[in-house]
């Protein structure tokens, strides 16, 4: 008889809406237990301005919600901490600071970040700029926000491998964290589609075990705070960031189950970032994700 395993928390990226609080009900309506939101438009530089009352209202609504237990935020896609362009670097640092301040103000469990591209300047050249920007944002927000202990970390997301992106391997993510002094306010978000597209196999129990062991040996599983559970529109090793609904893509539920069912990932929320019917995850997508986890548990029974 196997040991009881508490179900993985399944989440979904949802629209925040005016005042942010509607995100909680949007998540609850599709059966999610965790939500992820943007703190501003993902494709514009101008940050959304939320007053202290709005942020406090969200924290209270989250704390009292009967089914949504955590919120993650995703930083805008325009941020590029690795760029050699001084103007873009300055805008990126300012935008990261604004995104982190909002995430901490609403009590988020983490701010997911794409590190960016070094645009041909090389990883070694970009590394000091990346760590300086990360630590700068963390230090400023820790001294001024409602989250001085850093319980809302910046979560570095693995990249799909396109262009000169930073973070396309566990080794690169580990080197960024090490260069930042292994700061405890830095964590990791692991995206299944990016992992697949970057050429890392996890379609069998043995392959999934190797992936989890590699994460632990590099960044450490203690820093893994959330998963992005996505199928892929593109084939293995395509190095492109293209998400698909679970069961409709090139990865498929069997491979996702092999990874999601790993017992050392049971405490890590799995957040869907799939297109659904065109407006993001639906109830059927959340239900499929739960089925994938159950399938993964059975693989290891």
pLDDT tens for residues 84-113?
Answer: 999 999 999 999 999 999 999 999 999 999
Q: How far apart are CA 111 and CA 37, in angstroms?
A: 10
Q: How far apart are CA 257 and CA 132, in angstroms?
A: 38
Min mean pLDDT across 35-49, 117-131, 143-157 is at 143-157
41 in a domain, yes or no?
yes
**The dihedral of CA 14, 281, 185, 239: what is its sign?**
negative
Q: Is residue 41's pLDDT more than 70?
A: yes
1 in a domain, yes or no?
no
5 in a domain, yes or no?
no
What pLDDT, on the 0 to 100 scale, is given for residue 148?
60
pLDDT bracket for residue 17 (50, 70, 90)? confident
4 in a domain, yes or no?
no
Q: What average pLDDT is seen over the chain? A: 94
What pLDDT, on the 0 to 100 scale, is given for residue 150?
63
**Domain interval for residue 168:** 10-299
Tokens of residue 135, six digits: 């630590």
2 in a domain, yes or no?
no
Q: Give the global pTM.
A: 0.96
pLDDT tens for residues 243-285?
Answer: 999 999 999 999 999 999 999 999 999 999 999 999 999 999 9
Average pLDDT (15-44) is: 94
CA 39 centroid distance within chain: 14
Average pLDDT (141-152) is: 71
Q: How far apart are CA 188 and CA 221, in angstroms?
A: 9
- CATH number, domain of 40, equals 3.20.20.150
| Strand locations in 125-277 (E) | 154-157, 186-191, 224-229, 231-232, 243-244, 270-272
How many domains would you assign to the chain?
Answer: 1
Average pLDDT (35-42) is: 94
209 in a domain, yes or no?
yes
What pLDDT, on the 0 to 100 scale, is given for residue 162?
84
3 in a domain, yes or no?
no
Q: How far apart are CA 85 and CA 223, in angstroms?
A: 30
pLDDT bracket for residue 4 (50, 70, 90)? confident
272 in a domain, yes or no?
yes
Min mean pLDDT across 82-91, 148-157, 201-210, 267-276 is at 148-157
């Amino acid at each position: 008889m196997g040991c009881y395993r508490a179900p993985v928390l399944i989440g979904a990226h949802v629209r925040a809406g005016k005042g942010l609080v509607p995100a909680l009900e949007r998540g609850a309506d599709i059966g999610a237990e965790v939500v992820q939101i943007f703190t501003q438009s993902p494709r514009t530089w101008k940050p959304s301005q939320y007053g202290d009352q709005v942020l406090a209202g969200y924290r209270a609504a989250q704390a009292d919600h009967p089914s949504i237990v955590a919120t993650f935020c995703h930083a805008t896609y325009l941020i590029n901490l690795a760029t050699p362009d001084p103007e873009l670097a300055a805008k990126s640092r300012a935008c990261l600071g604004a995104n982190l301040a909002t995430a901490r103000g609403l009590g988020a469990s983490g701010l997911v970040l794409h590190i960016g591209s070094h645009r041909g300047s090389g990883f070694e050249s970009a590394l000091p700029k990346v760590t300086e920007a990360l630590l700068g944002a963390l230090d400023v927000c820790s001294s001024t926000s409602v989250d001085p202990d850093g319980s809302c970390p910046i979560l570095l997301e693995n990249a799909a491998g396109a262009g000169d992106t930073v973070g396309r391997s566990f080794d690169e993510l580990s080197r960024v964290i090490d260069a930042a002094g292994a700061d405890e306010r830095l964590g990791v978000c692991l995206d299944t589609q990016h992992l697949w597209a970057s050429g890392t196999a996890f379609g069998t129990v043995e392959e999934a075990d190797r992936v989890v062991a590699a994460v632990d040996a590099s960044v450490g599983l203690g820093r893994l705070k959330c998963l992005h559970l996505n199928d892929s529109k593109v084939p293995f090793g395509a190095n492109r960031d293209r998400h698909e609904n679970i069961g409709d893509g090139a990865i498929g539920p069997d491979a996702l189950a092999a990874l999601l069912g790993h017992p050392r990932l049971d405490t890590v929320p799995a957040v869907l970032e799939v297109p659904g019917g065109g407006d993001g995850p639906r109830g059927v997508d959340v239900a499929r994700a739960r089925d994938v986890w159950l399938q993964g548990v059975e693989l290891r029974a």
